[in-house]
Structure 1
Amino acid sequence: MASTNDPFQFKEFDEAGDLLDANRDAVTISIDDEDLKPQKQRKAAGFPPDEDEDDHLGDDKAELLSGEKKNVPFWTFEYYQQFFDIETHNVRERIIGSVLPWPGKNFINVYLRRKPDLYGPFWICTTLVFAIAISGNISNFLVNLGKPNYKYTPEFRKVSIAATAIFSYAWFIPLGLWGLLLWRNNKVMSLVTYSFMEIVCVYGYSLSVYIPAVVLWIVPFEWLRWCSIVVALCLSGSVLALTFLPALREDHPKVMIAILLGIELLNALLAIGCKTYFFSKPENVPPVVIPVPRAGNSTKMSS
């Protein structure tokens, strides 16, 4: 038989009123009052209520409801952090859109949707730099393979040269084009304006078509290399032309044609320059002639 004083036996608690009657000096705490406790303590101490917390909460709620973020200076890390916040499927969609341009589709309006990123352009440019350097070394090795006087030495300087050319094209050309569009917008108020980051994003993604073309340049056939250059130029140039044509359509026809020709000319100059410098035909290595002494010129040794 279980003891009546069993400490493990379940007991029902009395009502709160009975407990308070037993001890009138007990302090009760309500869960609902936990949020108001710091404010009551501040009022009891003579401090005014904390209005900053309410303001911050109100600002955060307003930002979440409106979907907008506060403007931050461009020299801060938070400013550039927003351009790397992108999903993988968005990057894949933009790469496909840059490789397969379609008439009437503006790359900025269709794929960027006023949300440019730097994640895709950065990795596209980096991949293209290493693809050019590695493919150039492999092509040079295959062309000179089997020559008795050829000794393969990897040319690491091609990486730095390719990086300088690619990143300069992907940043300085958009910077100049952005300034030119701003200047023309002051002349013609009806022109469409693009931000600098949108132009950088377009130029970065337009270089993605050159990555498979550069890989084909390993094969030492000039006709294949030039065919791949023409295809890449047509696709990349179409993306740039379809994107910036709406921004220049209301401008003077001569100015519009000059700017578009300049865009296409710089694009072709980059492709042809990389092919000529990194994949040019190697010079024939002259064979080393070893002189053979004649029998009549040999000196007689005295006995």
Structure 2
Amino acid sequence: MASTNDPFQFQEFEETGNLLDANRDATSVYIPDEGTKPEKQRKAADFTHDVDEDPHGTDDKTELLFGQKKSAPFWTFEYYQRFFDIETHHVKERIIGSVLPWPGKNFIHVYLRRNPDLYGPFWICTTFVFAVAISGNISNFLVHSGKPNYKYTPDFGKVTIAATAIFSYAWLVPLSLWGFLLWRNNKIMNLVSYSFMEIVCVYGYSLSIYIPAVVLWILPYEWVRWCSIVVALCLSGSVLVMTFWPAVRDDHPKVIIAVMSAVVVLNILLAVGCKVYFFSKPEPVQPVNNPAATEVTKAPSSS
């Protein structure tokens, strides 16, 4: 039979039992040993230990974890490469948001989320350029088709003119607006500020509604063209006004009127200018005089 004084038998500490009996509401604290850490804590400690042991091999990881990743200079290719790294469904959401603007929704805050891209604006502008040029040539062909003494020759110079106008609007206007808002933000500190890439992204996506409108301009009906222009102007202008209104609403009233008017007027000039230049009413084709027929008709009168 085992002895009552067995050293390996479980024994209660009398002092602890007396203290607990004296104060039933007391809270006991358990301090775990170093060797009894949970598995997740040990893995986290081992990961930190590995990062400290190999600083040269994990520089990129630690910079991304602690938010210290240095951005490349703007004149390098790596700086612009990240603006083309975007998912297809994000581009689709931004196009739908620009075509169907909702009152009270800021395009930058709702769709960009501080992550502007250049992929969508670049291809929207490029598609708009070729849509205007091709639609203009097709419209000119349909108007003159069936007329005598008409020979169709495509005007490739329209592509150059359309590209110059559209890309200048999509880059120079945002650059001017960004510089002006930055200047006003330095004077009035509580104004909402946007980055240059965010403004370029908004202007690029705002042109997406003009692509289907330009396709409708092929039809030789002036009322269809002007109706599509009005609809496209309202949708595109709404995106721009709702986006830049928070950036100037706390400024001087004259500045608000000037900025909003400039945004709307430049948008109107682009749409109306494309319509007038590429889809203007063609001049009637003058019939070519036939010298032989003229001599035949004049011969009887002279005799």
User: What TM-score bracket applies, with the shorter chain setting the length?
Assistant: 0.7 to 0.9
- The number of residues matched between the two structures is 248
1:37-76 matches, within 5 Å, as: 54-66=54-66, 69-76=69-76
How far apart are residue 243 of structure 1 and its match?
A: 0.3
Aligned mates of 1:289, 1:162 — CA distance in 2: 35
Pair 1:137-2:137 in alignment: yes
Report the equivalent of 1:173.
173
How far apart are residue 287 of structure 1 and its match?
A: 2.2
How far apart are residue 184 of structure 1 and its match?
A: 0.7
Whether contact under 8 Å (2:98, 2:107) holds in the other structure is yes
Question: What is the one-letter code of the residue matched to 2:298?
Answer: P
Deviates more, 1:92-101 or 1:253-262: 253-262
Whether contact under 8 Å (2:139, 2:219) holds in the other structure is yes
How far apart are residue 227 of structure 1 and its match?
A: 0.2
Pair 1:294-2:292 in alignment: no
Report the equivalent of 2:4.
none
Report the equivalent of 1:256.
256
Query: Helix, strand or coil: the match of 1:220?
Result: coil
Cα-Cα RMSD: 1.7
Report the equivalent of 1:87.
87
1:22-33 matches, within 5 Å, as: none
Q: 1:274 to 1:293 in 2, by over 3 A?
A: same
Aligned mates of 1:168, 1:56 — CA distance in 2: 45
Aligned mates of 1:69, 1:210 — CA distance in 2: 39
Report the equivalent of 1:227.
227
Query: Helix, strand or coil: the match of 1:294?
Result: helix
Deviation by residue 1:76-125 (Cα, 9 ceiling, x = unmatched): 11000000000000000000000000111000000000000000000000
Aligned mates of 1:104, 1:69 — CA distance in 2: 35
Report the equivalent of 1:244.
244
Question: What is the one-letter code of the residue matched to 1:210?
Answer: Y
Q: 1:179 to 1:53 in 2, by over 3 A?
A: farther
Q: Normalising by structure 1, what TM-score?
A: 0.79
Query: Helix, strand or coil: the match of 2:255?
Result: helix
Aligned mates of 2:96, 2:266 — CA distance in 1: 23
How far apart are residue 54 of structure 1 and its match?
A: 2.7
Deviation by residue 1:128-175 (Cα, 9 ceiling, x = unmatched): 000000000000000011110211000000001100000000000000
How far apart are residue 52 of structure 1 and its match?
A: 11
Report the equivalent of 1:97.
97
Aligned mates of 1:197, 1:226 — CA distance in 2: 32
Aligned mates of 2:122, 2:147 — CA distance in 1: 39
Q: Normalising by structure 2, what TM-score?
A: 0.79
Report the equivalent of 2:112.
112
> Which runs of 5 or more structure 1 residues have no equivalent in the other structure?
1-50, 299-303
Query: Helix, strand or coil: the match of 2:299?
Result: coil
Question: What is the one-letter code of the residue matched to 1:146?
Answer: G
Report the equivalent of 2:29.
none
Aligned mates of 1:234, 1:56 — CA distance in 2: 55
Query: Helix, strand or coil: the match of 1:284?
Result: coil
Q: 1:68 to 1:111 in 2, by over 3 A?
A: farther
Q: 1:227 to 1:66 in 2, by over 3 A?
A: farther
How far apart are residue 58 of structure 1 and its match?
A: 4.0
> Which runs of 5 or more structure 2 residues have no equivalent in the other structure?
1-50
Question: What is the one-letter code of the residue matched to 1:121?
Answer: P
Question: What is the one-letter code of the residue matched to 2:97?
Answer: G
Aligned mates of 1:87, 1:124 — CA distance in 2: 16
How far apart are residue 61 of structure 1 and its match?
A: 2.3
Aligned mates of 1:208, 1:66 — CA distance in 2: 38
Q: 1:56 to 1:267 in 2, by over 3 A?
A: farther
Aligned mates of 1:276, 1:211 — CA distance in 2: 16
Aligned mates of 1:297, 1:52 — CA distance in 2: 111
Whether contact under 8 Å (2:60, 2:69) holds in the other structure is no
* Percent sequence identity over aligned pairs: 76
Query: Helix, strand or coil: the match of 2:302?
Result: coil
**Structure with greater proportional helix content:** 2
